[in-house]
Structure 1
Amino acid sequence: MEVNYAVGAAAQPPSTVSSTSGTLGGHLARRLVQIGVNDVFSVPGDFNLTLLDHLIAEPSLNLIGCCNELNAGYAADGYARAKGVGACVVTFTVGGLSVLNAIAGAYSEGLPVICIVGGPNSNDYGTNRILHHTIGLPDFTQELQCFRTVTCFQAVVNNLEDAHEQIDTAISTALKESKPVYISISCNLPAIPHPTFSREPVPFFLPPISSNPLGLEAAVDETAKLLNKAVKPVIVAGCKLRVAKAQKAFLEFANASGYPIAIMPSAKGLVPEHHPNFIGTYWGAVSTNFVGEIVESADAYIFVGPIFNDYSSVGYSLLIKKEKLVNVQPNRVTVGNGPSLGWVFMADFLSALAKKLKKNSTALENYQRIFVPSGVPLKYEKDEPLRVNILFKHIQEMLSGDTAVIAETGDSWFNCQKLRLPENCGYEFQMQYGSIGWSVGATLGYAQAAKDKRVIACIGDGSFQVSYNACPLFVNALTGYKLYLDLNI
């Protein structure tokens, strides 16, 4: 994933992208291009039509129309997974409340999605007027109140004086927090020239965050003490590796340690499965064969970015003991029953810890000693009903570094967990929120962002019907180089 903004370096000269000059709409279009958004998913409505005209006028921006707001939000989610940031544009309240479910899912997954809503005319604020597309009250804040719980920043732009500041703050907050933001823009403002938009916007500069040196040192010392005295320690990767942008540091730590690497189910695709120390998915009683035994029999385990919810813990049944656990979160490390140290960032911590560990391959050798390769599915006979194991044998053979798998909620979660991902093969699913139908729109967004990938979408028939009928562009977008597989067999 690549986002085109300056981080911890001198800001570059203003970009040369062109658009309708001197207007709020032109400024927003240029900002989206600057951060790496080249495709915006939208549903036109009377409150956002003028804004959409300005987005269309931006040569580097492609407006993709969707048939409803939920799918536009799902597509922005999928786009953000591949590109690092996504955006969608809908209309006031009737559109905003429709896209809300998709934005909540993006929030749960730590994805920066810029949700832009065409809002009421700025002259209607404070007039006690009742507007269409609302529930019939003169209060325009219903939509805003709903978005407050599923976004990390909300901007209501109903005047031009501070529009520049509000838009820039919202976008930069999304990038810093890796969460969705909400921007409401009054429908009469996008085309009005204003001096604050008269020049090309200066690119974003996001200062790098660094750990508290004393806290980092203490966390590393305590963790190294626990792990270095262990006989058979293991590593388990969690889904917050993505949010913490710590995948490179994770591999540095894994290579230095020699420990076996397991993943929680929600972290599939975040750790290279071709790594020689990779052993599979730790999911309690339904783990990959022999992985549960290795993890739960370890005398120390370091979980990097875990979420222990009822899904990932199989109903809170994991046989994990706190005194043996090092829990590494994006900005906090907790060592067993000992200290919990904040303002210690995951990438800093893993890189520093790698330098303090003794190499220990005991647990990996134990795994290799008990491991028995999976059996080969029986050959498919003519006219025999297709079995899931035969189907996934063929899907496995299709995977390469040029493919990506999108796994829908339900059976596809479990079946796709068994796939072994080749180097550079993408993998995405929505385990925390688990919204059925998510993968249809997300496939459209991911495919649009990752044009070099052949996307294999594994979707149950019920989930497909939830979103497909409202998103016929899905098939057109995927024709010729994408694959849909119905797994409800």
Structure 2
Amino acid sequence: MEAQNHIGVKGHPTTTQPAVRASSSSGTLGRHLARRLVQIGIRDVFSVPGDFNLTLLDHLVAEPELNLIGCCNELNAGYAADGYVRAKGVGACVVTFTVGGLSVLNAIAGAYSEDLPVICIVGGPNSNDFGTNRILHHTIGLPDFSQEFRCFQTVTCHQAVVNNLENAHEQIDTAISTALKESKPVYISISCNLPAIPHPTFAREPVPFFLAPWMSNQMALEAAVEATADLLNKAVKPIIVGGPKLRVAKAQKAFVELVDACGYPFAAMPSGKGLVPEHHPHFIGTYRGVVSTSFCSEMVESADAYVFIGPTFDDSSSVGYSLLIKKEKAIIIQPKRVTIGNGPSFGWVFMAEFLTALAKKLKKNSAAVENHRQIFVPPTIPLKHNQDEPLGVNIIFKHIQEMLGGDTAVISEIGDSWFNFQKLHLPENCKYEFQMLYASIGWSVGATLGYAQAAEDKRVIACIGDGSFQVTAQDISTMIRCGQRNIIFLINNGGYTIEVEIHDGPYNIIKNWDYTRFVDAIHNGEGKCWTAKVKTEDELTAAIATATRDKQDSLCFIEIFVHRDDTSKELLEWGSRVGSANSRPPNPQ
């Protein structure tokens, strides 16, 4: 890991002048890459400097429409790019060769699992060193420089090693366009001696990308729509469940068209929360088997037909593969394929096109909506605690619910926050993000940094457990330096609570920190930051009032003390089932 970069942070002018000015860098690889990033919508690039990427960073700094944000470590730079993509649609990070690349690798793997187009740029060795049998620093001591490249092959959809200028233009453009088309991360390694060298292929301003939209096979589309409509129009109480692939398919608008047209109730898979409109009158909650929102699993599993749109049936979403779903009643719509029960499957049918076409073929059927209204009992609101009564998790999230609005976005860390946030109702335009499938603890710190940088119209509310925070805490400093006004709730319960409920042991207990003093030390009187410790409901109410009024322009860090065993009932159930799934004995040989 290299030193933190302090160049070009938004809201904090620097006296350090870039080594390259925009006028003198035209016609170079560095200039071309910088302009390409701007053209595709990137305004902030997250980086950690190292000797192999310094010249490239000069060219990014010289681009007036780019803001280079130095992070405390490469892992957080990758997480920040992940969060940035969720708000902006595409993101980028820049690190140095091998020590930086392998540090950011974990974050890139998480972005791959979530279908996020992160452009990971690595400053590589001097082009003259390839094939020379030389051993370089920042490597494992072998003259083979391909170790980093081979690692990235497994977690990116395209890899480019740029070590000559003749085809650098094509390599860079191909990598970036592939990231956008596939909605997956890509890896671009650029030799450290190339960014500043003029070359004829970079003489002109890059022509903006035109990525032709993918079109469905028309015959397959028509057949899929006809078969699906035939099944659903015969159903008595059909239901729709939205999943995480709605994002990569860019089908959220088409999803709303469908639910408006058909009148069916709809739910979200846990990993699809935030991608479907919870303010819609037909929304019935989160479907997650036995830990679903009240009356949601009953509605889904009793339906005579269910339409899963963009699902992922992993062990976490399915609570240890315990969903009571029958394949013959399911219609599975993935970004490029539609499968109907045990019967036909239609390929090269794109989700958004399919949903729009299907909406025109379905008969209105509100029977299941009426059924849900008849059986639904609203959840109770926790009673106010006594003045000195210890704060409970259910009380915390009651107050967080009251904070949510169209001008907020929520970032949830892996852990009990997952389950508590699933129960919150998202108002219109309130955004919600978390990392469900990859579930890398500590993700939310960097993701909050990146998301807040991209979504300046939102105030980000993040909920982070103490164990996760200890993994990536440093980049609170970058949030302060960027002038962000996030509200971070640090849940201090002394350990890895989610692991406790799966399988307990002494390794789940962590060394406690004085978290507010830690953040105060990072603040160090520079920028706007306010901290508070909270142990009772009255203290929580006062802290939230301060954060949303007097300190609304500051980063607010609120440490909340809760008992180690104070968890949601959903986590208890989920933990026992996932633990059971993990401990299955080997099948007989």
State TM-score, norm by structure 2. Answer: 0.79
- Identify the range of structure 1 (462-471 vs 198-207) with the bigger mean alpha-carbon deviation: 462-471
Aligned to 1:164: 169
- Identify the range of structure 1 (373-382 vs 296-305) with the bigger mean alpha-carbon deviation: 373-382
Aligned to 1:23: 28
Amino acid at match of 2:403: M
Aligned to 1:10: none
Aligned to 1:355: 360
Residues 39 and 470 of structure 1: is their aligned pair in 2 closer, same or farther, counting only changes over 3 Å?
closer
Q: Is the 8 A contact 1:331 1:342 kept in 2?
A: yes
Matched, 1:205 2:207: no
Shift of residue 243, structure 1, vs aligned partner: 0.2
Q: Is the 8 A contact 1:284 1:318 kept in 2?
A: yes
From 270, 279, 290, give the equivalent of 2:295: 290
Matched, 1:321 2:326: yes
- For 2:480 and 2:106, how far apart are their aligned partners in 1? 23
Percentage of identical aligned residues:
79
From 38, 43, 47, give the equivalent of 1:42: 47
Residues 403 and 213 of structure 1: is their aligned pair in 2 closer, same or farther, counting only changes over 3 Å?
same
Shift of residue 477, structure 1, vs aligned partner: 3.7
- For 1:384 and 1:471, how far apart are their aligned partners in 2? 31
Shift of residue 284, structure 1, vs aligned partner: 0.2
Amino acid at match of 1:87: A
Matched, 1:101 2:73: no
From 206, 218, 224, give the equivalent of 2:223: 218
Shift of residue 179, structure 1, vs aligned partner: 0.3
- For 1:386 and 1:40, how far apart are their aligned partners in 2? 40
Q: Is the 8 A contact 1:18 1:30 kept in 2?
A: no
Secondary structure at 1:205 match in 2: coil
Shift of residue 470, structure 1, vs aligned partner: 5.7
Secondary structure at 1:424 match in 2: coil
Aligned to 1:486: 490
Aligned to 1:86: 91
Q: How far does the alpha carbon of each residue in 1:324-351 deviate from its partner, in whole angstroms, 9 at most, with x for none?
A: 0000000000001110110000001100
Structure 2 counterparts to residues 43-62 of structure 1, below 5 A: 43-62=48-67
Q: Quick one: higher RCO (CA 8 Å, sep 6+), 1 or 2?
A: 1
Q: How far does the alpha carbon of each residue in 1:271-325 deviate from its partner, in whole angstroms, 9 at most, with x for none?
A: 1100010000000000000000000000000000000000111111100001100
Shift of residue 469, structure 1, vs aligned partner: 3.2
Matched, 1:251 2:252: no
Shift of residue 18, structure 1, vs aligned partner: 7.0
Structure 2 counterparts to residues 30-429 of structure 1, below 5 A: 30-429=35-434
- For 2:482 and 2:60, how far apart are their aligned partners in 1? 21
- Identify the range of structure 1 (246-255 vs 469-478) with the bigger mean alpha-carbon deviation: 469-478
- For 1:163 and 1:380, how far apart are their aligned partners in 2? 64
Shift of residue 51, structure 1, vs aligned partner: 0.2
- For 1:107 and 1:60, how far apart are their aligned partners in 2? 27
- For 1:259 and 1:179, how far apart are their aligned partners in 2? 32
Shift of residue 389, structure 1, vs aligned partner: 1.2
- Identify the range of structure 1 (17-26 vs 108-117) with the bigger mean alpha-carbon deviation: 17-26
Secondary structure at 2:37 match in 1: helix
Q: How far does the alpha carbon of each residue in 1:73-123 deviate from its partner, in whole angstroms, 9 at most, with x for none?
A: 000000000000000000000100000000000000000000000000000
Q: How many residues align?
A: 472
Secondary structure at 1:210 match in 2: coil
Aligned to 1:13: none
Shift of residue 465, structure 1, vs aligned partner: 1.1
Q: Is the 8 A contact 1:19 1:57 kept in 2?
A: no
Q: How far does the alpha carbon of each residue in 1:224-243 deviate from its partner, in whole angstroms, 9 at most, with x for none?
A: 11111000000000000000
Q: Is the 8 A contact 1:210 1:345 kept in 2?
A: yes
- For 2:480 and 2:202, how far apart are their aligned partners in 1? 39
Matched, 1:435 2:440: yes
- For 1:307 and 1:19, how far apart are their aligned partners in 2? 49
Shift of residue 486, structure 1, vs aligned partner: 1.4
Aligned to 1:446: 451
Q: Is the 8 A contact 1:441 1:474 kept in 2?
A: no
Shift of residue 487, structure 1, vs aligned partner: 2.4
Q: How far does the alpha carbon of each residue in 1:158-210 deviate from its partner, in whole angstroms, 9 at most, with x for none?
A: 00000000000000000000000000000000000001111100000100111
Q: Is the 8 A contact 2:289 2:318 kept in 1?
A: yes
Q: Is the 8 A contact 1:93 1:134 kept in 2?
A: yes
- For 1:487 and 1:104, how far apart are their aligned partners in 2? 26
- For 1:294 and 1:476, how far apart are their aligned partners in 2? 48
Secondary structure at 2:160 match in 1: strand
Secondary structure at 1:485 match in 2: strand
Secondary structure at 2:99 match in 1: coil
Secondary structure at 1:95 match in 2: helix
Aligned to 1:464: 469
- For 2:474 and 2:309, how far apart are their aligned partners in 1? 39
Q: How far does the alpha carbon of each residue in 1:388-411 deviate from its partner, in whole angstroms, 9 at most, with x for none?
A: 111111100100000000000011
Q: Is the 8 A contact 1:19 1:26 kept in 2?
A: no
Shift of residue 368, structure 1, vs aligned partner: 0.5
Amino acid at match of 2:28: T
Residues 482 and 471 of structure 1: is their aligned pair in 2 closer, same or farther, counting only changes over 3 Å?
closer
Shift of residue 471, structure 1, vs aligned partner: 5.3
Q: Which runs of 5+ in 2 are unaligned?
A: 1-21, 493-561, 563-589
Q: Is the 8 A contact 1:404 1:454 kept in 2?
A: yes
Q: Is the 8 A contact 1:252 1:351 kept in 2?
A: yes
Q: Is the 8 A contact 1:247 1:270 kept in 2?
A: yes
- For 2:80 and 2:165, how far apart are their aligned partners in 1? 30
State TM-score, norm by structure 1. Answer: 0.95
Secondary structure at 1:401 match in 2: coil
- For 1:108 and 1:302, how far apart are their aligned partners in 2? 23
Shift of residue 20, structure 1, vs aligned partner: 1.9
Q: Is the 8 A contact 2:117 2:186 kept in 1?
A: yes
Shift of residue 376, structure 1, vs aligned partner: 1.4
Secondary structure at 1:412 match in 2: helix
- For 2:192 and 2:401, how far apart are their aligned partners in 1? 49
Amino acid at match of 1:387: G
Shift of residue 476, structure 1, vs aligned partner: 4.0
- For 1:208 and 1:306, how far apart are their aligned partners in 2? 23
Q: Which runs of 5+ in 1 are unaligned?
A: 1-16
Q: How far does the alpha carbon of each residue in 1:109-168 deviate from its partner, in whole angstroms, 9 at most, with x for none?
A: 000000000000000011000000000000000000000010000000000000000000
Q: CA RMSD in A?
A: 1.1
- For 2:43 and 2:486, how far apart are their aligned partners in 1? 20
